[in-house]
Amino acid sequence: MSDLITLYDIPSQLPEQAWSPNVWKARFSLNLKGLKYKTVWVEFPDIEALYKQLSLEPTEPRVPKYTLPVIHDPSTNRAISNSVEIARYLDATYPATTLLFPPGSEALQGIEDRNAFESLQYIMLPITCVNLNPVSETYYRRTRETRYGKRLEELSPIGLQREEHWKRVQEAFGVVASLLEGKKFVLGDTISFADVTIASWVLWIKRSIGAQSQEWKDIEEWNGGRWSTYIAQFKEYEKVIV
């Protein structure tokens, strides 16, 4: 039996496979702490069975109830779901490592504004969908099209509507950029889960639309080039360890 922590992630056809912003939060957390772990890839339709296998309760009360990331830590024989709970667990269990919730940071952790990022979802969902492996792609399309009541391609078609969505995403990024004004990280020089959250969203975009795409190049120009320098700070923690 391996004594490594297992990180369960959803694979894709992208280089290095990892794409999910929520799983990136857990991966960044593990990498920042320098903990040893391995990645096990689980396709969307198999996540529920994984929860049963690990005797885990559903993460969310509503659909989707079974989500990744999940980690299993053999040293405590615990399985934990939900990226923020994983980060809290790692802080509590490995207190000698970089803390994701340093004292005084709690108030700053609610960086994710679901409304502001709604437009980002419209743009990203169809892109994410085609990057997935066929079995997950079918599941993702079915569940998301049910949720939004339209074909994914209709969420943000190229043209005026997509430009409008990018504009709103840019505004949301502007709000986050103001929190980072004159600082390396949200707390100043100290990295925290707030930064892990921001970096995970940015990385989802960068990896999914491609670093060479015009859309990514546009984002790099936003807020005085803030996003390429910000994400560069995470380079050493961007490793996908399998």
Report in angstroms how near the CB of residue 178 gets to ligand GSH at its nearest: 24
Identity of residue 242? V
Cβ–Cβ under 8 Å, residues 30 and 196: no
- The 3-state secondary structure of 164-212, one letter per residue: HHHHHHHHHHHHHHHHHCCCCECCECCCCHHHHHHHHHHHHHHHHHCCC
Report in angstroms how near the CB of residue 132 gets to ligand GSH at its nearest: 11
Report in angstroms how near the CB of residue 48 gets to ligand GSH at its nearest: 8
CB nearer to ligand GSH: pick between 125 and 180: 125
Report in angstroms how near the CB of residue 225 gets to ligand GSH at its nearest: 28
- Residues in contact with ligand GSH by the rule CB under 6 A: 10, 20, 22, 44, 47, 59, 64, 67-69, 82-83, 143
CB nearer to ligand GSH: pick between 31 and 67: 67
CB nearer to ligand GSH: pick between 17 and 67: 67
Cα 232 to Cα 242: distance, rounded to the nearest angstrom? 22
CB nearer to ligand GSH: pick between 142 and 150: 142
Cα 63 to Cα 217: distance, rounded to the nearest angstrom? 35
Rg (Cα) of the chain, in Å, rounded?
18
